[in-house]
Amino acid sequence: MTALGKLLRTTAFKLTLVYLTVFALFAAFLLVYFAWNTRRLITEQITQTVDAEITGLAEQYRQGGIRRLVFVVDARSRRPGSSLYLVTTRAGEGLAGNVGSLATGILETPGWTETAYRRLDDPDGAEHEALIRVFQLPSGFRLLVGRDLEERERLHDIVLAAGRWSLAIVIVLGVAGGFFVTRRVLKRVDAMTDTTRKIMDGDLAGRLPVAGTGDELDRLATNLNAMLERIEGLMYGFKEVSDNIAHDLKTPLTRLRNRCEEALRLAEDESQYRAALESTIEESDALIRTFNALLMIARAESGQARDGMTEFDAAEIARGVGELYEPLADEKGIQLKVEAPTAAPVHGNRELISQALANLVDNAIKYGAPDGAPANGAGAEIVVKAVGEGDRILLAVADGGHGIPEADRSRAVERFVRLEQSRSKPGSGLGLSLASAVARLHGGELKLEDNHPGLKTVISLPRAASVAAVS
């Protein structure tokens, strides 16, 4: 497709053409109307003048007869820029006036006529157009008075010429302007097209150019960029997941395989086989759990779990999860307290939020107890809180353990990351990732804070609107 062809096909150019046509038609109509009105006005003035002269001359005739009329007409005819005059006998013989020749038959029809004439005092004897009136005097004489129309025609021509020129200028400027505007827009659209092609070819980091003018194209580009950002994030997430799956699932799978091989090679009796098989099942259960957690994170991150969201009270979730974990904490000498005094309405997937909070509590129980916690009354404590704070609902779990150094906090949320101190304890390394993915699914976030001492994990969610108004 040639550049011009492309230009001619663009929407902007087509629009320019439509506007141009409408505007030109409108301008032409205005001009015609203007010209016609001017012409009418001039004609009206001429007829008034001629009528007045005829009345005056007829009066002269009535008072002084034909002699006086002839005398007056002669005098008037000689004035420069005078009207046209002609007085004839009944037979058509000219008695006085400045009209040289006339088309035949004009004098026979009284009233208004537009006709060609020659002037007596005109040295060239050129033919002109005039508007004349023939008046029958009582005694059979005829009086003709008229005005030259040249002025009117000249004005008409001037208006028409001006009209044609301005129309031409409108069209030329319109087309040029249209081309200019269209080309500018096209250039930007072309730039966008190029970028999208590059992105489709695999350059996921590419972004559409934004001119910074804040116009529609900029808004479109900004939105598309946000979309690309999200897609890149998801793609990166997927890649990361598959890399991590490859890495972190292969290790336990290898262990599982080794154990089976070892059993085949070394086991001597049934009890040894049994032990090997049991540990195999245990290992595969752990693998399944990891896999499920990964799937759950992927679902939360892709936003699939958005169906089935309802409104519920997060305080109830805090109490429920607290109640579920309380005996476990108790068994480890940790006191688990729930502080959820008022309703904390949120809109979301109850199951996922419960699980996210359960993960945080689980972590707190696993890592939150100071090593060798003194069992002397001042034991470790975990506080689960559900509180409203402005338009947010905070689900917080605070422990008194070692906490996580600030530098490691953002890394701790990533999949499979298990910080040094936790490597020795069981767990998939996915708990915080899931909590974070769930928080983001609900338009919130997971924050890790210092509890002085210990760690405070906070899931911050938007407060549900409808209930917030009530409470």
Partner 1 sequence: MRLLIIEDDRDAADYLAKAFREVGHVADLATDGEEGLAQALDGQYDVLIVDRMLPKLDGLSVIGTLRSKGIETPALILSALGQVDDRVKGLRAGGDDYLPKPYSFSELLARTEVLARRRGGREETVYRVGDLELDRLSHQVMRGGSEIILQPREFRLLEYLMKHAGQVVTRTMLLENVWDYHFDPQTNVIDVHISRLRSKIDKGFTQALLHTVRGAGYVIRDSK
Q: Please report, as ranges, the residues that interact with partner 1 according to CB under 8 A.
A: 278, 281, 285, 288-289, 292, 295-296, 299, 304-305, 307-308, 320, 323-325, 327-328, 330-331, 349, 351-352, 354-355, 358-359, 362, 365-366, 426-428, 431
CB of 290 to partner 1, least distance (A): 10
CB of 355 to partner 1, least distance (A): 4
CB of 316 to partner 1, least distance (A): 11
CB of 194 to partner 1, least distance (A): 39
Closest to partner 1 by CB, 70 vs 395, is 395
In what side-by-side order are the strands of the sheet with 127-136?
Answer: 94-97, 84-88, 142-148, 127-136, 111-119, 99-102
Closest to partner 1 by CB, 97 vs 431, is 431
How does DSSP classify residue 464? Answer: P
In single-letter form, the type of residue at position 23 comes to F
Closest to partner 1 by CB, 26 vs 273, is 273
Tally: H helices and E strands in the chain: 11, 13
Instruction: Give DSSP secondary structure letters for 34-75.
Output: HHHHHHHHHHHHHHHHHHHHHHHHHHHHHHHHHHHHHHHHHH
Closest to partner 1 by CB, 19 vs 291, is 291
Closest to partner 1 by CB, 177 vs 333, is 333
Closest to partner 1 by CB, 7 vs 324, is 324
Q: How far is Cα 119 from Cα 309, in angstroms, rounded to an integer?
A: 100
Closest to partner 1 by CB, 70 vs 434, is 434
CB of 309 to partner 1, least distance (A): 10
Which contiguous run of DSSP H or E holds residue 134?
Answer: strand 127-136
CB of 366 to partner 1, least distance (A): 7
**3-class secondary structure, 419:** coil
CB of 295 to partner 1, least distance (A): 6
CB of 285 to partner 1, least distance (A): 8
CB of 412 to partner 1, least distance (A): 16
For 46, list phi and psi in degrees, rounded to 5: -60, -50
User: Comparing C-alpha atoms, which of 217, 162, 212 is closest to residue 190?
Assistant: 217
CB of 219 to partner 1, least distance (A): 34
**Contact, 385 vs 396, CB < 8 A?**
yes
Report the Cα–Cα distance between both ends of the chain, in Å, rounded. 64
**Contact, 16 vs 178, CB < 8 A?**
yes
Spatial neighbors of 292 by CB under 8 A, at least 6 apart, are: none
Closest to partner 1 by CB, 146 vs 431, is 431
CB of 400 to partner 1, least distance (A): 19
Query: 3-state SS of 286-336?
Result: HHHHHHHHHHHHHHHHHCHHHCCCEEEEHHHHHHHHHHHHHHHHHHCCEEE
Joined tokens for residue 235: 């793609």
Percent of the chain as helix, strand, coil, to the nearest 5: 60, 20, 25
Closest to partner 1 by CB, 45 vs 310, is 310
Closest to partner 1 by CB, 237 vs 320, is 320
Closest to partner 1 by CB, 39 vs 299, is 299
Closest to partner 1 by CB, 269 vs 331, is 331
User: Comparing C-alpha atoms, which of 138, 146, 134 is closest to residue 92?
Assistant: 134
**Contact, 388 vs 342, CB < 8 A?**
yes
Structure-token match 């499979």, residue found: 416
Distances (CA, A) of 180 to 48, 183, 215, 367, 388: 53, 5, 17, 67, 56
Q: Return the half-sphere exposure (C-beta side, CA atoms, 13 A cut-off) of residue 451.
A: 24
CB of 267 to partner 1, least distance (A): 19
